[in-house]
C-alpha cells in the first residue's frame, strides 16, 4: 500500500501485536506512534491498530490506502454534519461526558444510600441493562458479589434483563429474607416495556407482601423519562426517588447517563473518571481528518470491508473483564445499523452483523470456522497490557513437555494466545483490528464506550441510514401486547393468531 510515511499512516494506533511474537508475517513491521505524542498521555489511552485489516497484509481481503483516500471526503462531510447536529442539540449522547450536575447528583445519592443496602437489583432490558452489566464486569472484581460488605464497599449487584421465570423466581426466593436491605432500580424510559413492567409489578407486590410496614419509597428508585410516560406517572403518584433517561438519548447510547452511572456509583466505580475517559476520546474523534480520528478510520474500514463482502463483525476481547463490553457493542451495532431503508426512503436492507467471542475460550470453539469457513468477517481484538494482577504458572516438575509454561506468567500467556490467533487468521487472509488497553480502568472503559458510540454514527453516515431509531423492534413489542391481552391491540391479535396457528401436520 502506498503511503507517505509510517508516521502518517499509523497515527493514534497501538503498538503492533503480531510483531512481538516469533515467526512474524513478512511486512508486519513495528508501527510508528505520532511523533509528538506525549508518552504520559499515551499510557492512559486505548489505541487502535489497523494495519492488519489492510491490503498490505491480507491482499484483496483488506482495505487499500486508495480506498480509504476515496472515503476521506465523505468522512469529512459526516464529521461536519455531526458537529452541526451536535450544536443543534440533536446528538445528545455526544455531550454526556460533560454532565457535571449529573455526576454531583448521582454521587450525592449514592453517598446518602451507602451502607443502607446489601443488594442492588437493576430491572431493565437492552440498553437499560447491558451497559450496567458491562461496567460491573469490567471495573469490579469477578468475585464482587461473593465478597463481604467490607471488601465490596457497595451492595451486591444483580441486573435482571429477562423474564425467564426460573431466573427471576430464584432471585426473588434468594432475596426474600433480605428485602429490607435490598434496593431496586427500575430503568425504563416509558414504563411500557412488557419485560421491565412485569418485573416491576412483581417487585412491588413482593415488597407489599413481605414488608407490609415498609414504604416503596425506601426500596425503589426509578430511572425514566423526565416528564412523561407510564413510569413517570407512577413515580409522581407514589413519591418515588427518580433519575432520568435524558431526552434524545436512545437506550443503547445511554450507559454514560443516569441509566448506567447510578448502579456504577453505588458499586464503587469512579463515574467521574469514566466520563473523563469519554471526554478524552471525544477530543480525539472530533478531527475531520480520516487518518487522525480513530472512530472515523475504524468505521471507514468496517464500511469498506462490508462493501467487499464481509458483513460479519467479530469482537473478541482477550480479557474476561471486557467480555460484556463486547456484548454491549453487539446491541449498539445491530440496533443502530440494521435498517430496511436509508434516510431517503430507499429500500436497502443493510447492516453488518455483530458477533461477540472471548479469547482464549473461543479459540477452541469458533476459530476453526473463522479460519476455514467463509472469508466474510472482520475481526476486532481487545488486548490488555496490564491486567492489574498476575498469576505465575506453577512448575512443571518431571513433566518435561510442559516445561515451556513453567514459571511464566498468565499475562504473557494470554497475550501470546492473542498474537497466535491473529497470526493464524492473517495466514488465512482474515482482516484484523486491535483495540489495545494499557490497563482496564474507568478512564479507559469510558474511552472505549465513547469510541464505539461515535464509530456507530460514522458507519450510519457511510451507510446513509438513521443510526438512532429502531423501527423493527416495535412490531415485536406490539405483538407481545396483543398476545398478553392488551385491549388496544385486539385487531393485531387476530392477525397473529391467523399467522401463527400451529399446523399439526408439521409437528413431529
Say how far apart CA 417 and CA 318 lie, in whole Å: 9
369 phi, psi to nearest 5 deg: -65, -45
CA angle centred on 363, ends 357 and 364, rounded to 5°: 110
Q: Which residues contact 322 (CB under 8 A, 6 or more apart)?
A: 137, 138, 382, 384, 437, 440
* DSSP symbols for 136-165: HHHHS-TTGGGS-HHHHSS-EEEEE----H
Q: Which residues contact 339 (CB under 8 A, 6 or more apart)?
A: 348, 349, 350, 351, 463, 465, 466
Give the other-Cβ count within 10 Å of 439's Cβ: 14
Q: Which residues contact 167 (CB under 8 A, 6 or more apart)?
A: 160
CA dist 122 to 134, 210, 221, Å? Answer: 13, 19, 10
Say how far apart CA 144 and CA 170 lie, in whole Å: 19
Question: Do residues 103 and 336 lie in contact, with contact meaning Cβ atoms separated by under 8 Å?
Answer: no
Which residues carry out catalysis? Answer: 335, 364, 477
* DSSP symbols for 167-209: HHHHHHHHHGGGGGGEEEEEE-SSS--HHHHHHHHHHHHHHHH
Say how far apart CA 180 and CA 196 lie, in whole Å: 22
Question: Do residues 478 and 171 lie in contact, with contact meaning Cβ atoms separated by under 8 Å?
Answer: no
Question: Do residues 373 and 496 lie in contact, with contact meaning Cβ atoms separated by under 8 Å?
Answer: no
Say how far apart CA 133 and CA 125 lie, in whole Å: 11
Alpha helices in 351-409 (DSSP H): 367-372
Q: Residue 316 in 3-state DSSP?
A: strand
Say how far apart CA 487 and CA 481 lie, in whole Å: 9
Give the other-Cβ count within 10 Å of 499's Cβ: 8
Amino acid at each position: 500500500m502506498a503511503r507517505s510515511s509510517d508516521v502518517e499512516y499509523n497515527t493514534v494506533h497501538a503498538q503492533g501485536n503480531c510483531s512481538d511474537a516469533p515467526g512474524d508475517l513478512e511486512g508486519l513491521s513495528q508501527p510508528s506512534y505520532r511523533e509528538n505524542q506525549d508518552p504520559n498521555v499515551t499510557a492512559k489511552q486505548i489505541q487502535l491498530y489497523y494495519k492488519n485489516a489492510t491490503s498490505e497484509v491480507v491482499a484483496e481481503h483488506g482495505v487499500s490506502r486508495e480506498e480509504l483516500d476515496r472515503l476521506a471526503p465523505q468522512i469529512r462531510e459526516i464529521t461536519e454534519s455531526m458537529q452541526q447536529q451536535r450544536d443543534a442539540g440533536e446528538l445528545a449522547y455526544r455531550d454526556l461526558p460533560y454532565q457535571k450536575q449529573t455526576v454531583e447528583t448521582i454521587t450525592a445519592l449514592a453517598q446518602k444510600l451507602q451502607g443502607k443496602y446489601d443488594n442492588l437489583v437493576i430491572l431493565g432490558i437492552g440498553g437499560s441493562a447491558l451497559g450496567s452489566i458491562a461496567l460491573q464486569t469490567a471495573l469490579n472484581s469477578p468475585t464482587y458479589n461473593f465478597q463481604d460488605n467490607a471488601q465490596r464497599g457497595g451492595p451486591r449487584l444483580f441486573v435482571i434483563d429477562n423474564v425467564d421465570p426460573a431466573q427471576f423466581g430464584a432471585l426473588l426466593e434468594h432475596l426474600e429474607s433480605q428485602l429490607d436491605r435490598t434496593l431496586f432500580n427500575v430503568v425504563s424510559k416509558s414504563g411500557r416495556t412488557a419485560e421491565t413492567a412485569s418485573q416491576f409489578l412483581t417487585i412491588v407486590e413482593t415488597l407489599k407482601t413481605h414488608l407490609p410496614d415498609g414504604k416503596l419509597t425506601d426500596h425503589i428508585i426509578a430511572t425514566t423519562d423526565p416528564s412523561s410516560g407510564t413510569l413517570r406517572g407512577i413515580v409522581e403518584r407514589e413519591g418515588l426517588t427518580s433519575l432520568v433517561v435524558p431526552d434524545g438519548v436512545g437506550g443503547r447510547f445511554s450507559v454514560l447517563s443516569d441509566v448506567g452511572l447510578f448502579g456504577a456509583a453505588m458499586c464503587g466505580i469512579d463515574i467521574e473518571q469514566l466520563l473523563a475517559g469519554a471526554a478524552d476520546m471525544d477530543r480525539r474523534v472530533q478531527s475531520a481528518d480520516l487518518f487522525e480520528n480513530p472512530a472515523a478510520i475504524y468505521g471507514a474500514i468496517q464500511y469498506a470491508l462490508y462493501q467487499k463482502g464481509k458483513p460479519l463483525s467479530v469482537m473478541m476481547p482477550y480479557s474476561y473483564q471486557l467480555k460484556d463490553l463486547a456484548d454491549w457493542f453487539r446491541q449498539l451495532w445491530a440496533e443502530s445499523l440494521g435498517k430496511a431503508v436509508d434516510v431517503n426512503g430507499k429500500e436497502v436492507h443493510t447492516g453488518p452483523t455483530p458477533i461477540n467471542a472471548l479469547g482464549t475460550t473461543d479459540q477452541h470453539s469458533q476459530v476453526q470456522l473463522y479460519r476455514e469457513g467463509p472469508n466474510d468477517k472482520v475481526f476486532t481484538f481487545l488486548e490488555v497490557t496490564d491486567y492489574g494482577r498476575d498469576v505465575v504458572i506453577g512448575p512443571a516438575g518431571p513433566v518435561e513437555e510442559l516445561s515451556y509454561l513453567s514459571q511464566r506468567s498468565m499475562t504473557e500467556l494470554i497475550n501470546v494466545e492473542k498474537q497466535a490467533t491473529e497470526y493464524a487468521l492473517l495466514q488465512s487472509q482474515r482482516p484484523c483490528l486491535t483495540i489495545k488497553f494499557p490497563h482496564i480502568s474507568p478512564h479507559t472503559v469510558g474511552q472505549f464506550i465513547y469510541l464505539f458510540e461515535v464509530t456507530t454514527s460514522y458507519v450510519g453516515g457511510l451507510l446513509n441510514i438513521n443510526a438512532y431509531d429502531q423501527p423493527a423492534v416495535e412490531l415485536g413489542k406490539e405483538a407481545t401486547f396483543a398476545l398478553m391481552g392488551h385491549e388496544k391491540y385486539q385487531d393485531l391479535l387476530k392477525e397473529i393468531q391467523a399467522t401463527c396457528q400451529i399446523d399439526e401436520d408439521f409437528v413431529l
